[in-house]
A and B are shown apart, each in its own frame.
Chain A
Amino acid sequence: METLTKTIQGVPLNHYILLCSIIFSIGVIGVLIRRNAIVIFMSVELMLNSVNLLLTAFSVYRGDATGQVFVFFVMALAAAEVAVGLAIIVMIYRNTNSVDINVLNRLKW
């Protein structure tokens, strides 16, 4: 494990920020361009995970374990959110026979 952790000993913090913001932007683009509700949900998961990685990087950078505890809470929250969200998607599919979000425009006007 020592040799593994030595491999990151030169990566600047900026590169972690760049990686996480790229993946977060990919999640945003996925929410904007897809119409399948499940794929949109997966893009949200991608955004949550990029923020988790960034929190961990900051936690290691500062030498403070609070960030990693926070990531643990975010993961618990994500599990709860996925359970409720997928239940809502299943209910939508049962009522409209589709998971296309363009069908769900009854709240639009």
Chain B
Amino acid sequence: MSTFYFIAFLSVFFSILVITAKNPVHSILYLILTFFTFTVHYILMNAQFLAVVNFIVYMGAILVLFLYTLMLINLNKESEPRKSNLVKIVGVIAGACFLAVIVAATKTLGTSQPVVLNNPGLGLVKNLGKILFNEYLLPFEISSVLLLSAMVGAVLLATKDTKTA
């Protein structure tokens, strides 16, 4: 049980570092650590399929894409002007108010039951694959169309447009 609280503390700590780090490369590295703690959360809930997918897709693919884009964009100069302190304070207050609303709404739920994994095979690849390819076959195929269109769109947007257009 204390493992959960330790990992939760690490998640919050690294995600605060993500938004406060001055160097964007450091931000991305902290984001990788945050996603790793999320993977540990999935493993603790025995959601093995999601843990593996989170590890490969988020930590492997998406963050490498972020780093690669950062390499294309030349940020070594002092290019990021800081926002004024007033905007920062207002932003933090707004976020804290949002958090306070959610916490207050959660408090009114009263006591909650502990999360207990009744069926140990719930998050395994076998079980999820059966559900994914029986009940959710159509959304699965549609998501492949979505990924294809995203790929075409990304290539279309990122290629250098000729000045004749």
Is B truly associated with A? yes
User: Which A residues have a C-beta under 8 Å from some C-beta of B?
Assistant: 1-2, 4-5, 7-19, 21-30, 32-36, 38-39, 41-43, 45-46, 49, 52-53, 56-57, 59-61, 63, 65-66, 68-69, 71-73, 75-84, 86-91, 93-94, 98-100, 102
A17→B1 CA distance, assembly (Å): 16
Whether the Cβ atoms of A73 and B158 lie closer than 8 Å is: no
Partner of B19, one of A22, A30, A61: A30
Binding site for A on B (CB under 8 A): 1, 3-5, 8, 11-12, 15-16, 18-19, 24, 27-28, 31, 34-35, 38, 41-50, 53-54, 57-58, 61-62, 65-66, 69-70, 72-73, 75, 79-83, 87-88, 90-92, 94-96, 98-99, 102-103, 106, 109, 111-120, 122-123, 127-128, 131-132, 136, 139, 143, 146-147, 149-151, 153-155, 157-158, 160
- A12→B113 CA distance, assembly (Å): 6
Give the CA-CA distance A68 to B121 in the complex, in Å: 12
Interface of B is mostly: helix
Q: Which residues of B contact A36 (CB under 8 A)?
A: 24, 75, 80
**Roughly how many angstroms separate A99 CA and B43 CA in the complex, as a whole number?**
37
Partner of B46, one of A5, A32, A66: A5
* Neighbour of B116 across the interface among A9, A39, A84, A99, CB < 8 A: A9
Q: Is the interface of A mostly helix, strand, loop or mixed?
A: helix
Across the interface, which residues of B come within 8 angstroms of A56, CB to CB? Answer: 41-42, 45, 47, 50, 123
Determine whether the beta carbon of B11 is less than 8 Å from that of A23. Answer: yes
Residues of B within 8 A of A27 (CB): 15, 19
Contact B95 A25 (CB under 8 A): yes
| Cα A83 to Cα B123 with chains together (Å) | 28
List the A residue with the shortest CB-CB distance to B27: A39
